């Protein structure tokens, strides 16, 4: 009799626990369904980069992938893992590694929006022998992964260095995380190398971040340095300080303000790399270019004025002035927010779309807060018509042309990818519509 009482007690506790778990799960799913609907209404259900696709036949709905996603881009809807805020996904693949049944596939592009990805092998070599690609250009923009790609690509380049008549074993194009990591590996492998960078500083895309912007990081393995841990989030300045310190200590051979302009192949299989300042004879080439490329311009009268810039470095220099920010991505929102936080700055944000479809949720919420407070004038479905020394003309769908008082224009409209240049070299690209 006593044993039956204990059995009943244990069964009651187990039933209560299961009931609590089911109720809690149902509540969480209701929240995630609401988040999905909100994202669809706001136009935030298109991922901007590498992202997961769920196989519903394999997915058990455990939620392990959602719990592993720090951006909360994934949730469980109708018992299956679902991208509930696709625009927040940044492609680090934590969800892929967390799935217990391998129900996720990481893909580029979507059915609606393709993404040009170059053909590369497992060693990051393109279809052009001796020409390698690592980093953002290959579709991966995360610091840890781009650095690892640079390291692995250089290991492959080392294998093919051998005997040749070229004075260099490799020319590395780009001084972002992939290029810096590759340069460290070149030193470790005792290769003759050269790094060229079109900007006036190293850092790649991080160099273009606004002052004090936080970048997500994870432990990075670098040759000569070892495993580097900077924390999950680190300010732009600290990250650049780290890269500059690494470059100084290892005496990385870098040439700044030197733009890559083309490539010619010699009969012996070596290459002549043409730049804006010189040319280099090398056995191999590693293209560690960012996807930003050349800043995309507006193509309107007055854009040549010195008050027009294509990146925001120090918001404080614009304090107390009327500024127009143009663009609809994270960089545009972050620039507008940073400017609005300066005393006396009049900020207008112009974007041709109906909604900020591919931005981080925290940026969208901060923007909404500044708009409600009257610190940012948000002009959706608008287009800059012309730029004058003290004003700008902006057309807005359904409204008369606006003339805004203006002293500065910050264009954050992305960049023109170097795809035509790379295709002229012979590198093949594939436009991926939701494929791995």
Which of 107, 138, 171 lies at the terminal end of a domain, its last residue? 107
Residues of the chain with pLDDT under 50: none
Q: End-to-end CA distance of the chain, in Å?
A: 61
pLDDT at 422: 87
pLDDT at 47: 66
- My answer on whether 382 and 279 are in the same domain is no
- My answer on whether 183 and 276 are in the same domain is yes
CATH number assigned to the domain comprising residue 14: 3.30.70.20
Q: What share of the chain is helix, strand, coil (3-state, %, to 5)?
A: 30, 30, 40
Which of 107, 128, 149 lies at the terminal end of a domain, its last residue? 107
Which of 135, 343, 327, 128 has the alpha carbon at shortest distance from 335?
327
Going from the C-alpha of 385 to that of each of 309, 370, 415, the distances in angstroms are: 17, 25, 20
- My answer on whether 131 and 214 are in the same domain is yes
- My answer on whether 283 and 299 are in the same domain is no
Q: Is the pTM of this model over 0.75?
A: no
User: Whole domain around residue 354: which residue ranges?
Assistant: 295-415
The answer to whether the beta carbons of residues 213 and 235 sit under 8 Å apart is yes
Q: What are the tokens at 28?
A: 């969480």
* CA 115 to chain CA centroid, nearest Å: 13
Whose tokens are 């009969």? That residue is: 267
| Dist. CA 325–CA 367, nearest whole Å | 13
Measured in degrees and rounded to the nearest 5, phi and psi for residue 410 equal -115, 110
Provide CB contacts within 8 A for 418, sequence distance 6+: 137, 260, 289, 293, 294
Domains: count for the chain: 3
Going from the C-alpha of 79 to that of each of 32, 87, 94, 192, the distances in angstroms are: 11, 22, 20, 55
- My answer on whether 279 and 180 are in the same domain is yes
Q: What are the tokens at 276?
A: 């804006």
- My answer on whether 312 and 170 are in the same domain is no
- My answer on whether 289 and 141 are in the same domain is yes
Measured in degrees and rounded to the nearest 5, phi and psi for residue 349 equal -120, 115
pLDDT at 415: 73
| Dist. CA 309–CA 70, nearest whole Å | 33
- My answer on whether 80 and 145 are in the same domain is no
- My answer on whether 403 and 421 are in the same domain is no
Residue 214: CB atoms within 10 A of its CB come to: 15
CATH number assigned to the domain comprising residue 393: 3.50.50.60
Which of 87, 107, 127 lies at the terminal end of a domain, its last residue? 107
- My answer on whether 218 and 354 are in the same domain is no
Which of 47, 37, 26 has the alpha carbon at shortest distance from 89?
47
Measured in degrees and rounded to the nearest 5, phi and psi for residue 236 equal -50, -50
* Dihedral over Cα of 301, 386, 298, 413: its sign: positive
- My answer on whether 193 and 159 are in the same domain is yes
Q: What is the dihedral of CA 81, 84, 90, 91, to 10 degrees?
A: 20
- My answer on whether 130 and 190 are in the same domain is yes
């Amino acid at each position: 009799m006593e044993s039956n009482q204990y059995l009943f007690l244990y069964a009651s506790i187990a039933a209560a626990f299961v009931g609590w778990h089911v109720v809690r799960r149902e509540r969480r799913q209701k929240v995630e369904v609401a988040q999905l609907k909100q994202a669809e209404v706001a136009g935030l259900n298109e991922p901007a980069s590498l992202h997961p696709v769920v196989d519903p036949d394999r997915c058990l709905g455990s939620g392990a992938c959602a719990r592993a996603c720090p951006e909360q881009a994934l949730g469980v809807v109708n018992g299956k893992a679902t991208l509930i805020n696709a625009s927040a996904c940044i492609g680090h693949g934590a969800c892929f590694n967390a799935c217990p049944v391998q129900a996720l596939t990481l893909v580029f592009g979507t059915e609606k929006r393709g993404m040009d990805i170059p053909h590369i092998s497992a060693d990051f070599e393109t279809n052009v022998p001796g020409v390698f690609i690592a980093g953002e250009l290959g579709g991966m923009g995360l610091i840890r992964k781009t650095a690892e790609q640079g390291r692995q690509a250089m290991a492959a380049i080392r294998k093919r260095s051998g005997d040749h008549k070229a004075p260099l074993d490799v020319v590395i194009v780009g001084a972002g995380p992939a290029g810096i990591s590759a340069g460290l590996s070149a030193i470790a492998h005792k290769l003759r190398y050269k790094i060229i960078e079109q900007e006036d500083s190293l850092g790649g895309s991080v160099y273009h971040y606004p002052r004090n912007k936080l970048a997500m990081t994870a432990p990075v393995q670098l040759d000569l340095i070892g495993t580097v841990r900077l924390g999950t989030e680190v300010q732009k300045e600290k990250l650049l300080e780290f890269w500059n310190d690494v470059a100084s200590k290892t005496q990385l051979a870098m040439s700044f303000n030197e733009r890559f302009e083309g490539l010619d192949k010699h009969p012996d299989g070596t290459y002549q790399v043409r730049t804006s300042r010189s040319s280099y004879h090398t056995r191999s080439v590693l293209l560690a270019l960012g996807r930003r490329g050349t800043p995309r311009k507006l193509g309107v009268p007055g854009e040549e004025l010195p008050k027009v810039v294509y990146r925001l470095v120090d918001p404080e220099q614009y304090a107390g002035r009327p500024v127009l920010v143009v663009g609809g991505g994270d960089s545009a929102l972050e620039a507008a927010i940073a400017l609005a936080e300066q005393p006396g700055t009049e900020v207008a944000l112009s974007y041709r779309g109906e909604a900020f479809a591919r931005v981080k949720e925290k940026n969208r919420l901060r923007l909404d807060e500044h708009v409600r407070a009257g610190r940012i004038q948000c002009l959706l479905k608008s287009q800059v018509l012309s730029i004058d020394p003290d004003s700008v003309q902006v057309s807005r769908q359904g409204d008369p042309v606006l003339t805004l008082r203006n002293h500065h224009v910050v264009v954050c409209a992305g960049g023109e990818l170097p795809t035509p240049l790379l295709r002229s070299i012979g590198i093949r690209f594939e436009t991926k519509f939701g494929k791995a």
